[in-house]
Amino acid sequence: MRALRLERGLSQESLALESGIARNQLIQMEHGRRGVLIERLCDVAEALGVSVTEIVIDDPKEPGRQRPRG
């Protein structure tokens, strides 16, 4: 999720505002420290312009990307 956000030049604050979630919640999601409701994941995916699958599936070419724990 972080890699997708950075690719689009978005700050945590701007993505949080666009997706309608709190910045602290977004940080926890990016670090995989928080379970994620599918509704929130859909909100973030929509704000990023990607599918939920693109957020949750690990990309071996991007070692920093991890599947959210939940």
Report helix, strand or coil for 51: coil
Is there a domain that residue 67 lies in?
A: no
Contacts of 61 (CB under 8 A, 6+ apart): none
d(CA 64, CA 47): 21
What is the CATH number for 49?
Answer: 1.10.260.40
pTM value? Answer: 0.75
Q: How far is CA 15 from the centre of its chain?
A: 9
Number of structural domains in the chain: 1
Predicted confidence (pLDDT) per residue in 55-69, tens digit: 888 655 554 545 444
- Domain that residue 34 falls in: 2-56
DSSP code at position 60: T
Per the listing, tokens 């957020």 go with 55
Predicted confidence (pLDDT) per residue in 20-56, tens digit: 999 999 999 988 887 788 899 999 999 999 999 998 8
